[in-house]
Structure 1
Amino acid sequence: MEAKKYALVTGGSRGIGRAICIKLAAELNYPVLINYQSNADAAEETKALIVAQGGEAELIPFDVSNRTETYAQLTLWKEQHPGAVIEVIVNNAGVTRDGLFMWMEADDWGNVLHTSLNGFYHVTKFLIEDLIRQRYGRIINVASVSGMKGTAGQTNYSAAKAGLIGATKALAQEVAKRKVTVNAVAPGFIETDMTSALDEKELSKIIPVNRFGKAEEVADLVCFLASKKAAYITGEVININGGIYS
């Protein structure tokens, strides 16, 4: 009997992460592991949306920036699902602590880097051996326009996402022979809780398509990269930003 294949989405309870969870279940028929740190209600809501569409989902709470916690939860999951393989990893968890660098506290720097960059390391490091062994896998990292061109007031976030982009390109070269692809998507302004405080009308003027993107549009791109159709795409960073370039 073939092992059951799963997709894991970190930071999957809200926003872009939620949209990715729903699409992976609906379009690629993956049972989805919804990772979240503290918002259990939102995670349950995401799970309910997937189940309502006839999909399968499980919640797996841990803080990606905490290696011990991440390894403990993933080890427990593997023990409870013998033979199962997580073959799609979407590293989406991220936080912002915006402010001018001159006044940026060490915690605001550290939290943002630990979540995006160390989170990628902890989750992917734990799972990558399985992908290499089975000679198939998809790793998709959610970066940002900030990591591509830098955003004033987000030196920490820009550094974290730029680091994620560098890691994507390097890891892709290491595992390509094993049919494991590693790609990143770099969203621009997307309608989520994270951007709700921004002046959409004003900012839309600098976006060539003249609007914010939708989380579902990012999820469509992630789904394509997670599919068999994207087998010859690796080490790539795909901008999804309505045409904003530096």
Structure 2
Amino acid sequence: MSDNREVVLISGAASNIGLACAQRFARDHFVVLADLGDAGQQAQAIGGNALALQGDVTNPDDCAQWVAQARNEGPLKAVVHSAGITKPAKPIEQTSLEEWESVIRVNLTGAFNMCRAAIPALREYGPGAAMVLVSSRASKTGFAALGANSGATKAHYCASKAGVNSLTKSLAVELAVEGIRVNCVAPGPMEGTMIPQAQWGTLAAKVPLGRLGKPEEIAEAAYFLCSPKAAFITGHILDVNGGTLMD
């Protein structure tokens, strides 16, 4: 047990946004890095304030085990769910059912599994507990790449992330009476493995702020939404996209 320090559970924490969130929250909390891959080295680099767990968000038993092990470290204050995948852009009539279902299963059903497993532990923490889900600018635009044409939109990815937005709002309503807040961060084009580095310069030219976002900036947004400074914010989709979508 980590001297009863508050615990934050982060999924998809072995890389990119999830890892940046783990590094940010570890400054003030004990963090549990959960990922399909091995996050042991990342947890070691963070130091004594971290624990790495392995599992699959599409498996509800794995999510439940993550929560149980996180709870062993102290009161679970927050969950940041950033695990997700994408597939190549194709017209929808060329998208196989397997491709569609695999993206929905990880991005949307995985979020459902994580939230459902975490709610009892967050309820035990009480008012002030929080969840942050990670969706995407694509959840609001219907296309995943800046400047995409009508021929290839990643409909599976866009639909899955739009579902995450709606899940956020539904849970925010359900849990508000208990003082548990649920919000979402919707990143725009980001540096990271989902966008090949060779395309960063081309995409950056299409961003009003003139660059791609950094995982650390999403981590700061998630940290804020879990903090007491956001105590009157719930059911919100926070756009962090460099001005590529303003609504």
TM norm. shorter chain > 0.5? yes
TM-score normalized with structure 2 length: 0.88
* Cα separation, 2, equivalents of 1:199 and 1:78: 38
**Aligned residue in 2 for 1:128:** 119
Deviations 1:5-35 (A, max 9, x none): 2101100000011100000111xx1100000
CA RMSD of aligned residues (A): 1.9
Once the two structures are superposed, the pairs formed by residues 1-246 of structure 1 within 5 Å of their partners are 3-26=4-27, 29-38=28-37, 40=38, 43-51=39-47, 56-75=49-68, 77=69, 81=72, 84-100=74-90, 101-136=92-127, 137-151=129-143, 152-197=152-197, 199-245=199-245
Note the C-alpha offset of 1:67: 1.7
**Aligned residue in 1 for 2:149:** none
Query: Which sits farther off after the overlay, 221-230 or 146-155?
Result: 146-155
Deviations 1:85-112 (A, max 9, x none): 3221111000011231221122211111
Same amino acid, percent of matched pairs: 29
* Cα separation, 2, equivalents of 1:67 and 1:107: 20
3-state DSSP of counterpart to 1:141: strand
TM-score normalized with structure 1 length: 0.89
Unaligned runs of at least 5 residues, structure 2: 144-151
How many aligned residue pairs are there? Answer: 234
Query: Which sits farther off after the overlay, 180-189 or 144-153?
Result: 144-153
* Cα separation, 1, equivalents of 2:64 and 2:117: 7
* Cα separation, 2, equivalents of 1:175 and 1:198: 43
Is residue 9–residue 34 contact of structure 2 (8 Å, CA) maintained in 1? yes
Runs of 4+ in structure 1 deviating by more than 3 angstroms, as ranges, are 72-75
3-state DSSP of counterpart to 1:144: coil
Give the partner amino acid of 2:106: T
Query: Structure 1 or 2: larger helix share?
Result: 1
* Cα separation, 1, equivalents of 2:195 and 2:44: 25
Unaligned runs of at least 5 residues, structure 1: none
